Structure 1
Amino acid sequence: MGATSPVTLKWYDLDKSELFLDLAKRMPENKRLSNIVYARLVLDRLLDPAIARVLYLDCDILVRDDVATPYEWDLDGRPIGAVRDSIGAWLVGGRDVRGNRDIFDVADPYFNAGIVLIDLEGWRQADIIGKMEQAFADGIMQRIYYDQDLLNIVFRNNWLQLPWRWNTIGPLLAHESLDPAILHYTGTKKPWGIWVNWRRSIAFARFYRHVMTNEIFYAFVRHRRISWWKKKFRAK
């Protein structure tokens, strides 16, 4: 960071975390997401014990407002705060709500774990890793939507709902007029996608391009397109 910035950047090498490597190796894997999603579950083990609060952010986001705002919010005694997921019932119910009825009630509030305000002491007390190990032994981890479902099980009825603008999920052009603070590109269409028609259908794609600067953005797109074609030819 610059000399005048109040921000300190610290790198944590997950390859040196035996706990994370063990979990990533054993837990169910999503090819699109990879098992890096399990890293947030060990935040309380990775970070300095003196750190009391964390605002966790996924990498597939675009921030348009000061993240210090939600960081300072009162959690009202809850261990976490998050935004309710608009497709939560579909995620837990799937094609037939009877399938996971022993795990979830589709009527329960369900949060998206891409942006989470965390009280680390409450996170530790929840014993997430212990509950995940038990869920894995019981065959539950193999049936649910990875760590996000697990977190919803662990913190069921014990989380604070944050305003939707701090995690606008799957943002489309219509969302631009609603002044979202954090756009969360959860689907396959991203503003950094290599196909122009994709970028024209999602919120703030042009803004994202100018944040990177046109020169860097188009160099990135050229690189991605070349890599994509090479992959296609190798597949044949």
Structure 2
Amino acid sequence: MAVEIPGGVSVNSEPLVLVCAADNEFAMPLAAMLASVMANLQTVDGVALFIINGGIRDRNRHKIQQSLDLNRITITWLEPPLERLEGLKVQERIPIASYYRLLIPELLPPQYSKAIYLDSDLIVNADLGQLWQLNLENHALLAVQDPIIRTVSNRNGLANYRDLELAPDTPYFNAGVLVLNLSVWRTQNLSRQILQYLVANRDTLRWHDQDGLNAILAQRWGQLDPRWNQLHIIHKYRSWQESPYPESTYRAVLEDPYIVHYTTSSKPWRVGCQHPKRDLFYDYLNLTAWSGWRPTRWNRGLRKLERLQERFRL
């Protein structure tokens, strides 16, 4: 149901359903991301937030909740059924929490037929309600085609695309921003299919859960405006001719991104980050219970200690 408010902006009174997943290391970036969502939300009245908890400590959970206006957002903490993720490939740069998004259709209450999933290492710089209101049609999800891995046959794409009988030019998407059609996922048991694929093909995976999503959902997803997932590579191109985009799209993604996704290991909360949009992260971090925090070497040492404590469960 939509209502009009002064200024001509149509506001939907039904909440936007947002799902995130994070471990304790990503608690602070998650808070900044959520603050950016709420600061820019205009066309939706509120948010039903579900956080799949990968081990966020009670202290940081409390700080996340302190960072948000609970009159506009409801928070539900979900515990992932780890037994469903047994046998999956895990590395230091891609922890088990990366797979949690695959369980969203099973974890969310059945009354929800649609949800937006966002990675924790990004900042939303536009009204997420505009993304929420897009028509999913019969697509399993909406996503942005990866600007680096454009197709499954890319050298960093699906190693076994021929075995899957996929055309070389089949588009490949980045899984950091997804609009999920939960009804389609449940009806077609897509979570089970993707998990089975990931276990059976673990030796050929390059991008873990993202590969599984692209393998099973090839040709079953719809493309979003690339401004909804700006990756760092856009800043590496010296001109639009070097990019995969026409000039107008290149300019829009570079100068007016709706979502800035910090996809490399050089992230704003780490010492030495040179990302051109680094300060944007701090702007929204200052709206949270971590206001004023900056990545000093002392803070880096504390975060390393926290990781060690998590590893050994001290």
TM-score range, shorter-chain basis?
A: 0.7 to 0.9
Change (3 A) 1:221 1:124: farther
More helix by share: 1
Amino acid of the residue matched to residue 217 of structure 1? W
Please say if residues 171 and 184 of structure 1, whose CA atoms lie closer than 8 Å, have aligned partners that are also in contact: no
Answering whether residue 172 of structure 2 is matched by residue 110 of structure 1, we say: yes
Show structure 1 runs of 5+ residues with no match: 232-236
Instruction: Give the C-alpha shift of residue 146 in structure 1.
Output: 1.2
Change (3 A) 1:97 1:77: closer
**Partners in 2 of 1:88 and 1:146 — Cα distance?**
14
Report the equivalent of 1:40.
Answer: 101
Aligned residues between the structures = 219
Change (3 A) 1:47 1:107: same
- Of 125, 140, 151, which aligns to 2:213? 151
**Partners in 1 of 2:88 and 2:117 — Cα distance?**
21
**Partners in 1 of 2:264 and 2:215 — Cα distance?**
23
Instruction: Give the C-alpha shift of residue 116 in structure 1.
Output: 0.4
**Partners in 2 of 1:89 and 1:171 — Cα distance?**
13
- Of 17, 21, 24, which aligns to 2:85? 24
Amino acid of the residue matched to residue 66 of structure 1? D
**Partners in 2 of 1:151 and 1:68 — Cα distance?**
24
Question: Superposition pairs for residues 1-236 of structure 1, below 5 Å?
Answer: 1-2=68-69, 5-14=71-80, 17=81, 21-89=82-150, 93-94=154-155, 100-103=161-164, 104-136=166-198, 139-144=200-205, 145-170=207-232, 178-195=255-272, 198-199=273-274, 202-213=275-286, 216-218=292-294, 221-227=296-302
Instruction: Give the C-alpha shift of residue 184 in structure 1.
Output: 0.9
Partner SS state of residue 115, structure 1: strand
**Partners in 2 of 1:229 and 1:2 — Cα distance?**
30
Amino acid of the residue matched to residue 191 of structure 1? P
Instruction: Give the C-alpha shift of residue 192 in structure 1.
Output: 1.6
Please say if residues 85 and 195 of structure 2, whose CA atoms lie closer than 8 Å, have aligned partners that are also in contact: no
**Partners in 2 of 1:40 and 1:98 — Cα distance?**
22
More strand by share: 2
Please say if residues 132 and 141 of structure 1, whose CA atoms lie closer than 8 Å, have aligned partners that are also in contact: no
Show structure 2 runs of 5+ residues with no match: 1-67, 237-250, 307-314
Instruction: Give the C-alpha shift of residue 164 in structure 1.
Output: 0.3
Partner SS state of residue 75, structure 2: coil
Change (3 A) 1:12 1:99: closer
What TM-score results when the alignment is normalised by the length of structure 2? 0.61
- The percentage of aligned residue pairs carrying the same residue is 25
RMSD: 2.9
**Partners in 1 of 2:157 and 2:111 — Cα distance?**
45
What TM-score results when the alignment is normalised by the length of structure 1? 0.80
Please say if residues 229 and 261 of structure 2, whose CA atoms lie closer than 8 Å, have aligned partners that are also in contact: yes
**Partners in 2 of 1:156 and 1:37 — Cα distance?**
20
Instruction: Give the C-alpha shift of residue 111 in structure 1.
Output: 0.7
Instruction: Give the C-alpha shift of residue 26 in structure 1.
Output: 1.4
Partner SS state of residue 29, structure 1: coil
Instruction: Give the C-alpha shift of residue 88 in structure 1.
Output: 1.9
Partner SS state of residue 117, structure 2: strand
